């Protein structure tokens, strides 16, 4: 079990477990964008149940807390996890995905006409006019991760989205605003990534994009939102 062995080895502060939501409609439907707040597909629900069972096994007998984005695809994943763990998720809107601020009635093809070309430095890029910049996403990711870790001594499980997980990891590993690129640490649907602090006080990335609990699934992950 990855947590048991690593926690014993590191004798560190509690790990922070980042879980990306299961497959959502926006991952497979070319008409649906993440700003439309889609829920999980039938495969996404199965993936959520698989990651839930793995976490229930890994966290048995340990103290933990579960946080979730309020968006449907993440919250539905968190509900599956919390059913297995016999707890309730703490919903935090700061864990939401990158904020495009698009009209939720816009389809993906309709939204494409408003998309902005990537600018340099990347920290100033807004994918759409009025959207969050990549730098603002990075700072939000760091702020919410810092707050949650300061508030809890237990193992922390955070269920959210690919792009904010990407920026959480970058922030944890000490990247600065000037170091940002659009995609730095890609994660698959229902994957597990683990952050911690070593016995030497170093922030470390223990696991990235662990999907071994999904080996029996076939996933089509075409749209990373």
Query: Which residues are known to be catalytic?
Result: 21, 97
Question: In the chain, which stretches have pLDDT less than 70?
Answer: 1-13, 217-225
pLDDT at 39: 98
β-strands 16-20, 155-160 pairing: parallel
pTM, 2 dp: 0.92
Instruction: Report the pLDDT value the prediction gives residue 198, as an integer from 0 to 100.
Output: 81
pLDDT value of position 164: 98
With CA atoms as reference, report the closest residue to 145 among 198, 69, 55, 211. 69
Q: Which residues contact 201 (CB under 8 A, 6 or more apart)?
A: none
Burial (CB < 10 A; 0-12, 13-18, 19+), residue 137, is: buried
Contact 95, 164 (CB under 8 A): yes
The model's pLDDT over 181-223, given as tens digits with 9 standing for 90+, comes to: 999 999 999 999 999 988 788 899 999 999 999 987 655 443 3
End-to-end CA distance of the chain: 29
* Distance between CA atoms of residues 104 and 36, nearest Å: 5
Q: Cis peptide leading into 121, omega within 30 of 0?
A: yes
Burial tier of 176 (Cβ tally within 10 Å: 0-12, 13-18, 19+):
exposed
**d(Cα 64, Cα 68) in Å, to the nearest integer?**
13
């Amino acid at each position: 079990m990855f947590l048991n062995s690593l926690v014993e080895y590191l004798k560190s502060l509690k790990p922070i477990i980042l879980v990306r939501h299961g497959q959502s409609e926006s991952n497979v439907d070319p008409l649906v964008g993440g700003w439309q707040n889609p829920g999980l597909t039938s495969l996404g629900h199965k993936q959520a149940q698989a990651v839930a069972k793995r976490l229930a096994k890994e966290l048995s007998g340990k103290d933990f807390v579960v946080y979730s984005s309020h968006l449907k695809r993440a919250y539905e994943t968190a509900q599956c996890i919390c059913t297995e763990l016999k707890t309730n998720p703490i919903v935090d809107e700061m864990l939401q995905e990158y904020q495009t601020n698009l009209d939720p009635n816009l389809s993906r093809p309709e939204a494409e006409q408003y998309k902005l070309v990537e600018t340099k430095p990347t920290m100033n890029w807004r994918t759409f006019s009025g959207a969050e910049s990549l730098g603002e996403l990075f700072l939000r990711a760091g702020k919410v991760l810092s707050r949650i870790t300061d508030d809890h001594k237990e193992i922390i499980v955070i269920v959210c989205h690919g792009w904010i997980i990407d920026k959480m990891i970058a922030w944890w590993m000490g990247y600065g605003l000037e170091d940002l690129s659009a995609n730095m640490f890609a994660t698959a649907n229902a994957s597990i990534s683990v952050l911690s602090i070593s016995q030497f006080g170093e922030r470390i990335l223990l696991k990235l994009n662990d999907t071994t609990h999904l080996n029996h699934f076939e996933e089509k992950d075409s749209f990373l939102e």
